[in-house]
Structure 1
Amino acid sequence: MKKNILVAPLNWGLGHATRCIPIIKALEENNFNPVIASDGVALALLKKEFPHLVSVELPPYDISYAEKGKNFKWKLLAQMPKMFKAVYNERKIVNQIIEKHAIDGIISDNRLGVYSQKIPSIFMTHQLNVLSGNTSWFTTKIHSKFISKFNQCWVPDSDSDSNLTGKLGHLKKPLKNVTYIGPLSRFEKRRRKKVFDLMVILSGPEPQRTFLEQKIIKELDSYTGNVVFIKGVVQEKQTSHTQNHITYYNFMNSEQLENTFNQSEKVLCRSGYTTVMDLAKLGKKAFFIPTPGQYEQEYLAEKYKMEGIAPCCNQEEFTIDQLLTIENYNGLENFSTEINWNYLFRLF
């Protein structure tokens, strides 16, 4: 009989869910039966991608986000008691899920309470260093304590000097249970005729996603090239419309996104790590606008700018003419090797 593996991504934008797509596919290809667990848009997206799989809803972390970037960290820290309560609720529900669905193993993407001492449990994250300004030591220590409860910690990056995460995914004193599995992407680079001069793709927590959408739409009034604009709003039905030189979509599935990426010359997006891995796999040139107050995205955007890979700016300062600077940068390159799923799944 096939072993049942619970795959549980955090519902924070769409990145955690989308990078679980290649893992879910690999589980199926290696004769496992994935069971999906999440909440909100993350769960909705995975149910659309894998309608044939069993899915269960986990309690939401129900975190609200600051409207101003400078308040982002402090609002999150103030909600830590609520988050720990959600983690505690996760622990109780996970035990019920294990029993009801005969779960044999767990892969948790940043869901701190989705593990069990009874079955092999894997935690996936690209943030071993959890950056939060002058409180980074504290947030990193708490995160490491949770990671230690899992049998393994997968980091979707390389452990060589040529890597994507920098200090985010590489501690000076490595944790004992960490395995670097290589960058993850659900996409493949394919030869396609150019259709769009610019692809805009949004994700991340509200209200900042909406703020950026509104700003970019206003700026695109003076842009002359063909644009495809994916808002990153997962709804029951896909919608699209074309206005002047811009084609809008509320969301796309993986196959549509892969095709659109390959048809687009340049990409304007957040500097979320899942997006970065996709761009690297496809060898794309991009302009990054990090989510205000998210130290992780701000760090990655500045890292790639300093390395001559991609330009960036903060949300308030963005103007459409800054896209011209993309030509001065090298773009992201794919340095990943084929992932040995058979080796990684040996724990199960």
Structure 2
Amino acid sequence: MNYRILVAPLNWGLGHATRCIPVIRALQENGFCPVIASDGIALELLKKEFPGLESIYLPSYQIEYAKEGKYFKLKMIWDSPKMVKAISREKKLVKKIVKERQIDGIISDNRLGVYHKKVPSVFITHQLNVLTGSTSWLSSKVHRKIIKKFDQCWVPDMEEKPNLSGKLGHMKKASVPVKYIGPLSRLQKKELDIIYDLAIILSGPEPQRTLLENKIVREIQNYTGSILFVRGEIENSQNIQKKGNVTIYNFMRSEELETALNQSALILSRSGYTTIMDLVNLRKRAFFIPTPGQYEQEYLAKRFDKKGMVPFATQKDFRIQMLSQVENYKGLPELPVNRFNFEELFELFRSPHENFEVL
């Protein structure tokens, strides 16, 4: 029997979707039939990666960052009623999908309404603690309450030290059913000749993606080395431009990006968690520019800087000359990536509890 597993990443930049790629591949390798569900660029990316798989559109959370980082939390609070409505619609739609598409299991990457009481449901997150400044205790408590609605919570990190997520993915007292599955990455290290001195990888919700792009376009005018610039715009067709020492792509599929990053000496990117996992697997040196006001990315950037691994700068203060700081840092830790026993993980779907049978 080909068990049908609904895989639903949150459309918040590209990170949630891209880290689901190795999970979807593992499902296929273990005889399951993945069904993709998301919205926006996350759904478009997965459709390009897996054109033969069934895909379903889910209601958008309508996540948009504030133009200024100091208003990030206020913007999230202001938009929260729209998110609540979307999650409510999502729950109802999932019930319909499970029944009509004969879904045998669910893997949700941070989509809060994608679970079903009668189908084994998994939540993927690296944030057991959700940082929101002075309200971190409240946001973390609410998030864990939602996680408890799922049968398992998979954290893509090591349980012990060294790890990547720090206090984001580790609690002093376990209050949810957590399995640490190790870092996930769609990219593999290859020994290739270096042809780019710098690879710039952009992603994330608007308007911050565009604001950073505009900033970097001005800064790289003062950079003499060869540059690969991946803008993170998922469009119908791939667009490649060559401007002097800069090669610009609107987007790259996994195979292309894997090759290009292996051919790059240094990576400039956001400090998103999925990007960090990719860099660990590729064993690449990096420089981070966290999204203004996003507590999680700011925490991770400061954490790796403090450990002497990766330097960072705020979006406002970044100058291209700062890239020279990388030479004084030791790089990210070497950790096993994609090494967890997926066959063992997926037993949850092969041997569901009797009360999970869909009526």
TM-score (norm 2): 0.96
Aligned to 2:108: 108
RMSD of aligned residue pairs (Cα, Å): 0.7
Of 81-90 and 148-157, more deviation after overlay is shown by 81-90
Aligned to 1:191: 191
Aligned to 2:282: 282
Asked whether the 8 Å contact 1:158–1:183 carries over to 2, the reply is yes
Aligned to 2:78: 78
Asked whether the 8 Å contact 2:9–2:42 carries over to 1, the reply is yes
What's the offset of the Cα at 1:65? 2.0
Of 159-168 and 171-180, more deviation after overlay is shown by 171-180
Aligned-pair identity (%): 57
Asked whether the 8 Å contact 1:225–1:245 carries over to 2, the reply is yes
Aligned to 1:119: 119
Asked whether the 8 Å contact 2:147–2:176 carries over to 1, the reply is no
Aligned to 1:92: 92
State the distance in 1 between where 2:176 and 2:42 align: 30
State the distance in 1 between where 2:175 and 2:157 align: 15
State the distance in 1 between where 2:185 and 2:334 align: 11
Task: Spell out, residue by residue over 1:181-212, the C-alpha distance to the aligned partner (whole angstroms, 9 max, x if none).
Answer: 00000111110001000000000010000000
State the distance in 1 between where 2:31 and 2:84 align: 35
State the distance in 2 between where 1:20 and 1:87 align: 20
Segments of structure 2 that go 5 or more residues without pairing to the other structure are 350-359
Aligned to 2:344: 343
- 1:1-348 superposed matches below 5 A: 1-336=1-336, 338-348=339-349
One-letter amino acid of the counterpart of residue 206, structure 1: E
One-letter amino acid of the counterpart of residue 221, structure 2: D
Task: Spell out, residue by residue over 1:199-226, the C-alpha distance to the aligned partner (whole angstroms, 9 max, x if none).
Answer: 0000001000000001111000010100
Name the SS for the 1:196 alignment partner: coil
What's the offset of the Cα at 1:99? 1.2
Structure 1 stretches of 4+ with a deviation exceeding 6 A read: none
What's the offset of the Cα at 1:54? 0.2
Asked whether the 8 Å contact 2:12–2:63 carries over to 1, the reply is no
Segments of structure 1 that go 5 or more residues without pairing to the other structure are none
State the distance in 2 between where 1:333 and 1:227 align: 25
Name the SS for the 1:317 alignment partner: coil
Asked whether the 8 Å contact 2:162–2:333 carries over to 1, the reply is no
State the distance in 2 between where 1:68 and 1:284 align: 30
State the distance in 2 between where 1:175 and 1:281 align: 30
What's the offset of the Cα at 1:176? 3.5
State the distance in 2 between where 1:35 and 1:301 align: 34
What's the offset of the Cα at 1:293? 0.5
What's the offset of the Cα at 1:81? 2.0
Aligned length: 348
